Structure 1
Amino acid sequence: MRHLIRLALSMPLDVAARKAVGFAAKRLKNRLASILLRGRCPYPPPGGVMRRRLQRPVSWAAGSIVMDQWRNHRFDLLGSGPVRVAHGETYPGFDGHRYGPGARLPDDWRAAVVEAQWPGGRDRAMTILALIDAATYCPIDWQVDFKSGYRWSIRTLGGSIAYGHHPGVDVKVPWELARLQHLPSMALAFAENRDFALVREFRNQMLDFLGSNPPGWGVNWACAMDVAIRAANMLLAWDLFRAAGATFDAAFESELASAALAHGRHVRANLEWNAEHRGNHYLADICGLAFCAAFLAESSEAADWMAFCRTELSAEIQRQFLPDGSNFEASTAYHRLSAEMALYTAALMGGLSKSVMDRLSLVARFARDITKPSGEIVQIGDNDSGRFIRLRCHESPLDMSSLLFLSEGLFGQEDAVTPESDVVRQLAGRQFEAAQPRLRHPGTGAVELGGCSRLIILPSNPAALDGLEAIAYPDFGLFIWKNARSFVSVRCGPIGQNGNGGHAHNDQLAVEIEIDGINWARDPGTFVYTPDLVARNAYRSALAHFVPRHGAAEPARFISPFRLEDKARAKVLRFGPDFVGRHDGFTRPVQRRVVIEGGMVIVEDWPGVGEKTVRSPQELSELWGLSLPFSPGYGLRLSAR
């Protein structure tokens, strides 16, 4: 509630009043809708024909251990560790906060699951659950945060779902599981090993989800983005199974077609559009809706969806991907998420202009350039480990190889054969020519720093810093030197989302250094969002980054968990053999110069005095007070920085 008050106080009075009235009206509308819709069946009638998009099987040698875990409904998501997700389970809790357990289901579990729902959809839900053909099948508890144990009610309308309201509770956990992103990997494993038990498990998990989550109700219909991502994954998984030779009964495919229609209608009615600050959520809405339109049999409704999506995707690619190929949300991890969505969907729908495809062809170059010699990306801004379609299970959140493979399938070499390149090439039916990037470096004129502090970083093998290439992304605000052994970057640029800063950190002028696989200085990551707002702000803080300091002051206020004050206004003054940049976030402007010479990385901050030399990452961390545990992905926190 406090962050909502801060957010309101940051707005002009008329804007805050208008938003407050809109918020109250939405709550009233949802409450009335909940009452009126309880007696209505939320499912579209069964029926319809699905259209296949893939012509040949795509395989991948997934580990048998992972497949066994999924068959036993054990999932490892967002830092949970392998956890069995079932009704009545006890979960470990998050940061001392533990809820539940919920009720265990009786032997007649179908009746119990259906009875928990409102009367209007019970008959249809029972029909769906009755199609599950395994006598020993144990239903998944789709409504539970299987880290904290907190459980949402299936009788709450999706638009009325509360989150961020109890300590330790993370709505992203059930959302992540309900994206069903493990199902395409399951299909690839079936194509590799021909284990028909995987076909049966896919069918039963889909029916379990559909019968336990009536459209519009419960936590898994609260966010249109997650509904859209789920739609794309369940439809692609079905197509991958079919391409590999699996067959399904008519009743199942009828329910799947009905589900695609329900998902498409829900997304179309709940588009996350905002005139100023729409971002990856709206992009996901468009992409998931396009998958529904592409896989459903031809109809005027599906045709209208596809026409809408083609127009909107074209506009959003040009809007959300900057001229240098980077994403506009000031986050390297969200760059991957949005790029995946755009690439898969552009391939699926076709018909996009050359200028749009040219812009899209540049996204892989950015991903490649922000990858350090260790294979991990530099984390700038938030990292919620979000993906659109994950064809390989248990990829590192900091490994962008799959995005590079995806782009190669659409724009690259004919002989590039990976699951990502194969799928996207089949969806597109062709390859496109990649645009040549226009390299832009800021000016190289003289800059007067005056009196400054000087920090010399001296690696054990100075030769590792020889032959560095300077790479600039001025639209994103990232300036890089790299070779096969070393990576040095400086963050200096816009906070993203047209000044909203929803996924930005107080990291202006932050330096990241990796030499011979050793991280001397690195962004600590994100850790979590709403379950721990103290940790949320700690990981966003300037004190967590290798930036110029002004005591414990922040260069911009945290207005809300997903809004950063646009105060620092960082600007690069020079980049080439060295970097010079400034920001205005403190009581007076600060400037930083970074230069690599004589086998040393030298960091000069103005105003300041004195000179220090560090010869190890530990010395640097102690000097700058960089003590937060490193978070390589959402919910993950390593013991040491």
Structure 2
Amino acid sequence: MVKPDLRAIAVDMRALGLSAPLRAAYEASKRSGFHAVLFRGEAHRHHPAALVPLTNVLPIGDRARQRCLDDAAQVLNEGLRVFGGRVATGVSAPWGTDPLTGRQWPTDDPWWRIDIRSEARLSDVKYTWEAGRHRDLVVLARAARLDPVGPWQDGLTGLLRAWCAESPPEQGVNWYSSLELALRAIAWNQILALVGDRLPRDVVTAMERLLLSSARHLMVELPYTVSSMRNNHLLGDALGLILLARMFPTARRARWWARTGEKMFAAQQRRHFGPDGRMIEDSVSYHRFVLEMLVVRVLLGGAPSSVRDALRAASLHLARLGVFDGDVPQYGDWDEGRVLASSGDALDVAGSAALGLALCGERLPARWYADFDELAWYAPTPDREATAEQFTPPTHTRPGATTSGGIALVDRGPWRVWFKVDGGPSHGHADLTSVWVKHGGRWLIADPGTGTYNGPLEVRNGLRTSAAHPVRRPDGRDQLVPHRAFRWLNTGRGHLGAPLVLPDRTIVFGWHDAYARGEHPVRVGRAVVVADGYVAIVEFADPPAAAASWSLTVPLHPEVAARGDTLIAGGTKVGLFGLDGYQAVRGRSVPFAGWHSGTYGRWEPATWITAESRADTAVWGLGAPPGPPPDPNALDGLGFQVTWSDAGACLTVTDLGSGEVHHVRAPR
């Protein structure tokens, strides 16, 4: 029993790197009681908050107005929105109430003494924190501004007064995470801008005192943040300090907050973003989350040009993935994380991308301002007299395929196919070279989602490992191998070539090195061929015979059934080929398999197809390729071969009729 614990500690220390001693000292402070000295409660001197507008006082368009009023009514009547449902926390139950159990987190203990991680904890704290981000209170403030005689103002006042009474500085679970304090500060800023002049003076004063204490908390927590949270948490904490310095310019340490926040934000920004718009967050949900942080930094004013550049690139990345054409694969961890307030669909990411583009000067379609709360409440009013060309999503301007951040999107005939070759170190899943497929706008092969972070580990790992994704596994190995709830024991990089667009087919190729380790190292490659009548996946390995067998899981959407060599989705039937003798599992608990999670904390049965083979090269897919049974040497008149080298891999595509040859290079 000792050995695994020591190994886990060693992995943790390796992951923390040079910051490990700082993190160790921080943990020792918590256990020794020194935290009681560091976190001495609220700031001593009171300062009134200055108005720092982040939100429009009135929305652009009537549809956003009505959405807000309808949502506000649901907040007061049904509760706050938390992961696809409404909860009593804050509305008809105390703010420290866990929505899952109905019980309260400890209210009289300082936050560092509350157990949120071990098996003995009360529950998954994310549910309580989600309610405590107060985005729904921003909705009530908007409604109070739109309809001064409605019940919104009184409802908001009651919720805020209760919060201030129940959440004194450094007490209770809602002070545990610095990121939660920063997000709440962003929400409270908007509330004060919308209705601060109408709130009772005692409520405003209490909010100001808690905001000042939040700034102090963020500063004291810096050792933990910089040693362990070099991802969205560090950006969010930095953003909170920048905002609070603007809100309280007369505070003695305001300049220090601002300087520290700006330096942290700039340093993490350099680590966080790639020039093509990708982030270290290998997750669509967290991409939206961080994109909204960039939005807030731009709205605050005075942002370096690099912030706007990153915002534009991050927004275009989502556009290239097809977010303006419908839903996209739920890559990586998904938990509905938001910085901005919206009464729209919590699963939508297009509105945030549209806002990012608007703030970078793009002229957007008028209907988007009606469709997206993000534009209606945060964007400047569009100049309809401007002559600039209207923004067109990249998926509409490049026929055949678009690529971004190691992902290719192919549209041809009834098919829409995503090929994810590369990933990032934060919040990603073991899904290098995964393929996700829609047919006629309906999901067939669909990302199974996240399930949970803090729930049962078998669920967490059951949905994030390679066994839950359509990737080849030599001898059943996982690409990354999970460690605890968020970390991985290994790393892997993928390399994507440029799309090959032929008159009747589109071909994308990539490979990864996640298995290039251990006793039997192997590189794995894939070519994805999309024609009007089929989608084919051609598998390759280097070196051949590096594995005794190969495993593959194909997770289907919950509404798709597998019947022999046919997938059935509603009235649509699509052929399945190359997976002879497959097994199907649906809703199995032990071991956990055959599930789909549409949002955090929820999962439903879905069919997973599992197959085994002993061939290093193979072909499988959907639809019906013409001619003889497909193989890499003869697939619908094409032959495929991969040449491997230290510099990468090259796919050779040969037209077997004309002899014409095409090369797709995917360098390291």
Give me the TM-score of the superposition, normalised by structure 1.
0.75
CA contact (8 A) 2:294 2:307 kept: no
Q: How does 1:305-454 map to 2 (within 5 A)?
A: 305-353=257-305, 355-371=306-322, 375-392=326-343, 395-413=345-363, 417=369, 419-421=373-375, 423-425=377-379
Change (3 A) 1:517 1:492: same
**Corresponding residue of 1:42:** 42
1:592 aligns with 2:526: yes
Change (3 A) 1:543 1:169: same
**Corresponding residue of 2:88:** 84
Task: Find the aligned partners of 1:553 and 1:266 in 2 and give their Cα distance.
Answer: 43
Following TM superposition, by how much is the alpha carbon of 1:397 offset from its aligned partner in structure 2, in angstroms? 1.6
**Corresponding residue of 2:510:** 581
Deviates more, 1:377-386 or 1:615-624: 615-624
1:67 aligns with 2:20: no
Task: Find the aligned partners of 2:173 and 2:128 in 1 and give their Cα distance.
Answer: 8
1:345-382 Cα shifts (integer Å, max 9, x gaps): 222132412x4322321211111222367611222111
Change (3 A) 1:42 1:305: closer
**Corresponding residue of 1:228:** 182
1:503 aligns with 2:403: no
Task: Find the aligned partners of 2:292 and 2:183 in 1 and give their Cα distance.
Answer: 11
Task: Find the aligned partners of 1:153 and 1:65 in 2 and give their Cα distance.
Answer: 34
Change (3 A) 1:507 1:256: same
Which amino acid is the alignment partner of residue 537 of structure 2? V
Following TM superposition, by how much is the alpha carbon of 1:410 offset from its aligned partner in structure 2, in angstroms? 4.5
Task: Find the aligned partners of 1:268 and 1:525 in 2 and give their Cα distance.
Answer: 35
Which amino acid is the alignment partner of residue 603 of structure 1? I
CA contact (8 A) 2:168 2:210 kept: no
CA contact (8 A) 1:283 1:316 kept: yes
Q: 2:443 aligns with which of 497, 519, 533?
A: 519
**Corresponding residue of 1:555:** 479
1:188 aligns with 2:119: no
CA contact (8 A) 1:140 1:208 kept: no
CA contact (8 A) 2:308 2:360 kept: no
Gaps of 5+ in 1: 87-137, 440-466
**Corresponding residue of 1:7:** 8
Q: How does 1:132-147 map to 2 (within 5 A)?
A: 140-147=93-100
Change (3 A) 1:143 1:41: same
Following TM superposition, by how much is the alpha carbon of 1:506 offset from its aligned partner in structure 2, in angstroms? 1.2
1:490 aligns with 2:451: no
CA contact (8 A) 1:488 1:512 kept: yes
Task: Find the aligned partners of 1:410 and 1:302 in 2 and give their Cα distance.
Answer: 29
CA contact (8 A) 2:351 2:374 kept: no
Following TM superposition, by how much is the alpha carbon of 1:634 offset from its aligned partner in structure 2, in angstroms? 0.9
Following TM superposition, by how much is the alpha carbon of 1:542 offset from its aligned partner in structure 2, in angstroms? 1.2
Task: Find the aligned partners of 2:35 and 2:442 in 1 and give their Cα distance.
Answer: 55
Following TM superposition, by how much is the alpha carbon of 1:637 offset from its aligned partner in structure 2, in angstroms? 2.0
CA contact (8 A) 1:592 1:605 kept: yes
Which amino acid is the alignment partner of residue 165 of structure 1? S
Task: Find the aligned partners of 2:428 and 2:550 in 1 and give their Cα distance.
Answer: 30
1:158-204 Cα shifts (integer Å, max 9, x gaps): 23432232378201011111111111112222333334421122122
Deviates more, 1:270-279 or 1:503-512: 270-279
Greater relative contact order (CA < 8 Å, ≥ 6 in sequence): 1
Change (3 A) 1:5 1:513: farther
Which amino acid is the alignment partner of residue 205 of structure 1? L
Change (3 A) 1:284 1:35: closer
Task: Find the aligned partners of 1:421 and 1:282 in 2 and give their Cα distance.
Answer: 26
1:97-120 Cα shifts (integer Å, max 9, x gaps): xxxxxxxxxxxxxxxxxxxxxxxx
Which amino acid is the alignment partner of residue 413 of structure 1? R
Task: Find the aligned partners of 2:513 and 2:271 in 1 and give their Cα distance.
Answer: 27
Q: How does 1:9-28 map to 2 (within 5 A)?
A: 9-10=10-11, 19=20, 22-23=23-24, 26-28=27-29
Task: Find the aligned partners of 2:147 and 2:182 in 1 and give their Cα distance.
Answer: 30
**Corresponding residue of 1:630:** 596
CA contact (8 A) 2:280 2:426 kept: no
Q: Determine helix, strand or coil for the equivalent of 1:556.
A: coil
Following TM superposition, by how much is the alpha carbon of 1:606 offset from its aligned partner in structure 2, in angstroms? 2.4
Which amino acid is the alignment partner of residue 358 of structure 2? E
Following TM superposition, by how much is the alpha carbon of 1:78 offset from its aligned partner in structure 2, in angstroms? 2.1
Following TM superposition, by how much is the alpha carbon of 1:419 offset from its aligned partner in structure 2, in angstroms? 4.3
Give me the TM-score of the superposition, normalised by structure 2.
0.72
1:539 aligns with 2:539: no
Which amino acid is the alignment partner of residue 158 of structure 2? N
1:41-67 Cα shifts (integer Å, max 9, x gaps): 535444524325267433622366643
Matched residue count: 544
Following TM superposition, by how much is the alpha carbon of 1:541 offset from its aligned partner in structure 2, in angstroms? 1.6
Following TM superposition, by how much is the alpha carbon of 1:602 offset from its aligned partner in structure 2, in angstroms? 0.9
Which amino acid is the alignment partner of residue 402 of structure 2? I
Change (3 A) 1:327 1:625: farther
Which amino acid is the alignment partner of residue 234 of structure 1? W
Which amino acid is the alignment partner of residue 303 of structure 1? R
Q: 2:538 aligns with which of 601, 604, 612?
A: 604
Which amino acid is the alignment partner of residue 207 of structure 1? R
Q: Determine helix, strand or coil for the equivalent of 2:101.
A: coil
Change (3 A) 1:222 1:182: same
Following TM superposition, by how much is the alpha carbon of 1:510 offset from its aligned partner in structure 2, in angstroms? 0.5
**What is the alpha-carbon root mean square deviation over aligned residues?**
3.9
1:161 aligns with 2:85: no
Change (3 A) 1:318 1:71: same
Alignment identity in percent? 22
Task: Find the aligned partners of 1:328 and 1:37 in 2 and give their Cα distance.
Answer: 32
Greater strand proportion: 2
Task: Find the aligned partners of 2:177 and 2:128 in 1 and give their Cα distance.
Answer: 12
Change (3 A) 1:483 1:268: farther
**Corresponding residue of 1:57:** 58
Gaps of 5+ in 2: 502-506, 542-548, 555-563, 570-574, 587-593, 608-668
Following TM superposition, by how much is the alpha carbon of 1:614 offset from its aligned partner in structure 2, in angstroms? 5.0
1:198-234 Cα shifts (integer Å, max 9, x gaps): 1122122112111101111211111101111011011
Following TM superposition, by how much is the alpha carbon of 1:255 offset from its aligned partner in structure 2, in angstroms? 2.1
Q: Determine helix, strand or coil for the equivalent of 2:253.
A: helix
CA contact (8 A) 2:332 2:427 kept: yes
1:570 aligns with 2:494: yes
Q: Determine helix, strand or coil for the equivalent of 1:534.
A: helix
Change (3 A) 1:328 1:534: same
Q: 2:402 aligns with which of 471, 474, 493?
A: 471
1:440-497 Cα shifts (integer Å, max 9, x gaps): xxxxxxxxxxxxxxxxxxxxxxxxxxx9531122xx3212213696421111114x2x
Task: Find the aligned partners of 1:6 and 1:523 in 2 and give their Cα distance.
Answer: 31
Q: How does 1:127-276 map to 2 (within 5 A)?
A: 140-166=93-119, 169-241=123-195, 247-271=198-222, 273-274=225-226
Task: Find the aligned partners of 1:204 and 1:371 in 2 and give their Cα distance.
Answer: 42
Which amino acid is the alignment partner of residue 78 of structure 1? F
Task: Find the aligned partners of 1:55 and 1:594 in 2 and give their Cα distance.
Answer: 46
1:266-313 Cα shifts (integer Å, max 9, x gaps): 112213543696010011111222222222354453333234333433
Change (3 A) 1:276 1:266: closer
CA contact (8 A) 1:409 1:420 kept: no
Deviates more, 1:164-173 or 1:224-233: 164-173
Change (3 A) 1:227 1:13: closer
